[in-house]
Each structure stands twice: as C-alpha cells, then as structure tokens.
Amino acid sequence: MEFVRVASLAEIPEGEMRAFDLSSGRVAVAHVEARLFAFADECTHAGCALSEGDFDDRAATVECACHGSVFDVETGEPIDGPAQDPVAIYLARLVEGWVELADQPVREGG
C-alpha cells in the first residue's frame, strides 16, 4: 500500500473536513482532536460529497447535506438513513506535519 502526501496538517483545521483527489477516488479527511479520519467523499445514498456536509467533531460523525444520512467517520458505518451502506475507509497518517493517505481503501464501502 502506498501513501500519498495530500496536505499539511495546518490545512485541515481541527474540527473540520477537507477533500482530496486520489487515483482511487475523492477522499475526505476529518480532523478530530489529535486524530485524522479518512473516508470516501461520496455518500452511499445518492453520491453527494460528504465533505460538503456537516461534521460533528464531538460525535465523530458527518451528516450528508443532501438527505441527512449520518456516518461514523471512524468506521464508515451509517448511523442514520436514508443511506444503508457504509462508506469506504482509508488509512491516514501524519508524517512530520504532513497528512498522508493510503492510495487504496483499507475497507471498501457498500
């Protein structure tokens, strides 16, 4: 598995999300305290960009702006519908202040 450097940590402020294009698709990165969560930036309901939704950094969930599906950003699992399938999860790591993402999902979405 290869890692791709996508941004400096400063470009993803705590409590916010940013999206990046990888060869395998667009990936959203959420910054929660000292942790980074990366997941496919495509809602499994009808494909809206989750990075344009509402990120709750306390619950570590994202709510899709289109029809309100809620996903756990750590597991990718849907918590609230209409989406029923999980989003793909990617590994994210921090290397000397740089955010790096695995170029393939560690867990496929639904």
Interacting residue ranges for ligand FES, rule: CB under 6 A: 43, 45-48, 64, 66-69, 82-83
Rounded to whole angstroms, the Cα distance separating 72 from 59 reads 8
Rounded to whole angstroms, the Cα distance separating 87 from 5 reads 22
CA distances from 29 to 15, 20, 82, 98 (A): 11, 8, 22, 13
Q: How far is the CB of 9 from ligand FES (least distance, A)?
A: 28
Cβ closest to ligand FES, residue 18 vs residue 45: 45
Rounded to whole angstroms, the Cα distance separating 42 from 3 reads 21
Cβ closest to ligand FES, residue 6 vs residue 55: 55
Q: How far is the CB of 5 from ligand FES (least distance, A)?
A: 29
Q: How far is the CB of 71 from ligand FES (least distance, A)?
A: 9
Cβ closest to ligand FES, residue 83 vs residue 99: 83
Cβ closest to ligand FES, residue 63 vs residue 100: 63
What is the Cβ-side half-sphere exposure of residue 5, based on CA atoms within 13 angstroms? Answer: 6
Residue type, position 14, single letter: E
Q: How far is the CB of 50 from ligand FES (least distance, A)?
A: 7
